[in-house]
Amino acid sequence: MAVFSNQTLVRERVIIDENVYDGCTFEKCQIVYRGGQVQLAAVKMTDCIWVFEGCALNTIKLLQSISLLPADISTLRALPNAGMDKLSLP
């Protein structure tokens, strides 16, 4: 996995799979998650949009079909930096 430390990304499309982000700041970025491994530590995100593709999108569709997520997930919002001190997805 590639490691990104203490970087600021602004208005970029960032595919986070197979990467480590430590102390990075994302501002007005499109964060793309496809279901792969990722590690986020001490990350700050401001006005970012999440995009789920591939396996990640399939998981969301499954969770919606069994009513564990609402059909319209555009209404879901995370609190600023909620849970972003340390996140690791297998």
Helix (H/G/I), strand (E/B), else coil: 67: coil
For residue 79 the two structure tokens come to: 């609190």
Q: What's the predicted TM-score (pTM) here?
A: 0.80
Sequence-separated (6 or more) residues with CB below 8 Å from residue 86: 40, 41, 42
Q: In whole angstroms, what is the distance from residue 56 CA to residue 7 CA? A: 25
Name the residue ranges covered by the structural domains of the chain: 2-73+80-89
38-47: pLDDT as tens digits: 999 999 999 9
Query: Has residue 85 got a pLDDT over 60?
Result: no
Q: What is the mean pLDDT of residues 15-26?
A: 97
Residue type, 36: G
